[in-house]
Structure 1
Amino acid sequence: MNVILASASERRRELLKRIVNDFQIIVSDFDETKVKFNGNCGSYVMDLAKGKALSVASKLNKDESIIIGSDTIVFLEDKVLGKPADKEEAFNMLKLLSGKIHQVYSGLAVYNTLTKELITDYVCTEVKFSTIPDEVITSYIETGEPMDKAGAYGIQGYGGIFVEKIHGCYYNIIGLPLNRLYFLLRDMGVNL
């Protein structure tokens, strides 16, 4: 069975290799602005993941494929923190996260193009940041690492020094909760 990851994320690609030997990448062109945040983070990230998976499905032929869509957000104080638009926004996000507990939500959508079966789910992980001095935030931003990551940090890179503790799935914070995805794929009939 053909497995497709509907994501340009190098981190998701690396993580998926841990549970699926052979898959292809087809980047979704889904317009994420079509999904409005209604206050429910779980529904929001599942809708984004579903949009990505179905967008890729619409471009494929009739062969059976399993498409994986995923999206990740950081949530703090009723605010969704996506990828920063610039260095100033990255600084403001990290300053906001400093010394606080926030949640990381990843939505998953697994779609079978032949049967039209769609399974969605999400994972939430709680993350506690230490208090970060402004000069450390500025130095971190200069590495360029925060610019393509929700919440302006990557736990698997230099941003890991900000994390005091986590409660939940580590891989979720990177962007692909492997445990949950593994069982969704098995439920869809993918032999792993």
Structure 2
Amino acid sequence: MTHPAIHLASGSPRRKLLIEQMGLTCQVVRIQAEEPMDQSRHAADLAIDLSELKMKACLDQKPELAKYAWILTADTLIALDDEKIGKPDDRQQARKILSRLQGRTHQVISAFSVYSPLSKTFISDLESTDVTFSSMDQMEIESYLDTKEWQGVAGAYRIQGCGGKYVSSLNGTFYNVMGLPINRFYAILRLLNFSN
């Protein structure tokens, strides 16, 4: 059975890779959307809000897609001590984030929204994974920052890269930490009768 393409409204190469690993065709759609980090919101609610905000922005900015395209938006954030942590703006901010994460457990929350051109509506869902970091000394933090993996990712690390060697345990799905819980995403596609 062949499937239509997933139109990914995200600049994340990791999400594109995961979709393609599922055996699906992925087309990247560029949109502009604000990502306000409201610390007063519960992390799960905020992640869903950000994913849905991106979906609404995509449908507003690319109305022609709503006629025929399956669209995916997503947002991943880190929760530590009830604080929401997004993407670092610079190396100094990435250093602070990694210093706080090391030796502790945090939650990685990935929310996503799937738009169906059949029903002309979208469904949102999310998954949370507990990630425990081993302790890092200052040299290890600086060495990791030199890899530049911290750029453009929530929590300032990539589990699928050099950052993986600092993860001592994982309670949940690996793919969720990468930015898309593919099993849960696939379940939503099935629910929406995703096929030609």
Alignment TM class, shorter chain as reference: over 0.9
In terms of mean alpha carbon deviation, does 57-66 or 101-110 score higher? 57-66
Aligned to 1:22: 25
In the alignment, what sits opposite 1:145? Answer: 149
1:145 is paired with a residue of what secondary structure?
coil
> What's the Cα RMSD here?
1.6
2:9 touches 2:73 (CA, 8 Å); kept in 1?
Answer: yes
Using structure 1 for the length normalisation, give the TM-score.
0.93
Counterpart contact for 1:103–1:124, Cα < 8 Å: yes
- Tell me which residue corresponds to 1:10: 13
Q: Is 1:41–2:43 an aligned residue pair?
A: yes
* 1:111-136 C-alpha deviation (Å, 9 max, x unpaired): 12453222111100000111111110
Q: Write the deviation string for residues 14-73 of structure 1: whole angstroms up to 9, x where unpaired.
A: 00112252231102211122x734431111111111111222122132532211110000
Aligned length in residues: 191
Within-5 A mapping of 1:100-111: 100-111=104-115
Q: Decide whether the 8 Å contact of 2:144 with 2:163 is kept in 1.
A: yes
Measure the CA separation in 1 of the matches of 2:91 and 2:104. 21
AA in 2 matched with 1:92: K
Q: Which residue of structure 1 aligns with residue 125 of structure 2?
A: 121
Contact 1:87/1:141 (<8 A) preserved: yes
Amino acid at match of 1:103: Q
Residue equivalent to 1:70: 74
1:100 partner amino acid = R
User: How far, CA to CA, are the matches of 2:151 and 2:186 in structure 1?
Assistant: 29
Q: Does 1:175 align with 2:179?
A: yes
Q: Report the AA paired with residue 179 of structure 2.
A: G
Say whether the 8 Å CA contact 1:28–1:53 is kept in structure 2: no
Q: Which runs of 5+ in 2 are unaligned?
A: none
Given that 1:104 and 1:124 are in contact with CA atoms closer than 8 Å, whether structure 2 keeps it comes out as yes
